[in-house]
Structure formats: structure tokens, C-alpha cells
Amino acid sequence: MSFKNKVAIVTGAGQGIGLEICSQLAKEGSKVILNDVDEILAASAVKQVIDATGEACIAFAGDASEPAFIQRMVDTAVAKYGHLDIVIANAGITLFGDFFTYSPEAFLRVMQVNLAGTFFLAQAAANQMKLQPSGGSLLFTSSVTGHQAHKNLAAYGMSKAALEMLAKNLVIELSQYKINVNTVAPGATLTERTMDDPEYAATWSRITPMGRAATVTDIANTALFLVSEKARHITGQSLIADGGWTCISPSPF
């Protein structure tokens, strides 16, 4: 799945799944714009990618839920490289909370980052891609919680299910421009955040049919396939990468 000379934007990529996606894209020859809301984290992540791959990677720190910032990011990619081939809307936040007391502030922040950020990134990217003879590929990061109920994640799960519907709807809007759009839905994944819980790996290894939680490499491998030339005739789909958990859905609690 060569990505040589492709230009990619990946949001929420300072660590975890997003960082691994950037590393794999760069390793395959892509020029990567790496976004994270944390400027120090973004700079550190870019250094890791360049040190590991020797390929071009640029930090673009800022809030990927803000339309004006999103447009600057797209404009920068095009100004520097002349085109934009791949956009992966990976930025998102998880705010756990009991449904009965969940605050309006938490709800609106989840929707702003997970939904508005993805929607307006897709819009800005598609407005560029439709000018290109080759079109492009969009990928949204969903979640198994968009398919199966998970305690204290009503708002988050709602946002992730909505992203999958957005991808389906955009098939109508974007296919004529040779732009495909899909979602990847990770299950339990070992990242810096989840490993703060000392029981996480053991719990999810026990309840996942394949016997372990996903690694960031597992999810990045799935993401790269969906934005590769091998998947150009796949659009409007969600690919679940969860070791089979959604087939039986045992609760971790």
C-alpha cells in the first residue's frame, strides 16, 4: 500500500492511534500534516515520526474542532505541497458521565469535537479534493460504542454512531468527485490514556474473543487500508477492528 508522494492530514495525532497512523503513512512515503491540540505533544510526535522514518512531517497544533483552524490547516497543506490526498479525522474526546446528571457543557464539548470537528474537516478537505482529478480519501474515527451500548458513554456513543451516518450520507455528495469516505471503529485499544488503568489490558484480554485488546498498530493497519488505493471502491462503510468484541459484547464492568 504505497503512499509515496501522497499528502495527508491526521488530527488528534500527538499520541496513540493518530501518531501510529502518521508514522505508518510517513514510512510509506506520505507527506504528513500532524495535528494535535497540545503544541508540545504535536512537536514531540513529529520528531518521533521524522526520526523513525526520515520522511516529511509537519506539526500543526490547534483545536481541530474550530472551522477557521481547520481551513488554515487544509490551506497550509495545499500551499506547501500543491494537493491533498488523504484526511483522517481522528481527533475526539471521551467524557464519561452518568446520563441522569450529564452536564450540557460536557455534552456540547463532545459534539463540538467529535461531530463538528469531523464535519467541517471533511467539508474543507472535500472542497479541495473535488478540484483534483484524482479526488481523495476521507476517514473518520468511530468506535465500537457507536454500535453497542456502553455504561456512562451515552453522549460519546451517540457522537460516534453519528459519524458513521455522516460517512454514508457523504457518499451521495462526494462520489462524483472520486472522493471515498469511510470510518474505522476501534474497540478497546492499548494507548497512553487507556494504560493509565492498570486493569485495562487484563480486563479486555479476558472479554475479547481474540484474547487481547488491540494495539495502535492494529488500528493504524486498518486505517491505512481504508485510505489506500486498494480501497478506492469502498465508500460509506465502517470497518470494526475490535477482536470480535461487538459480536458478543460482554461488559467490562
Q: Which residues are catalytically annotated?
A: 142-143, 156, 160
Region for residue 248 given its phi and psi (left: phi exceeds 0; alpha: psi -120 to 50; beta: otherwise): alpha
Q: How many CA atoms lie within 13 A of 56 on its CB side?
A: 15
C-beta of residue 40 within 8 angstroms of C-beta of residue 34: no
CA–CA dist 84, 179 (Å, integer): 11
Q: Which of 84, 55, 56, 49 shows the shortest CA–CA distance to 70?
A: 84
CA–CA dist 162, 21 (Å, integer): 23
CA–CA dist 6, 227 (Å, integer): 11
Helices (H), 28-103: 39-53, 67-81
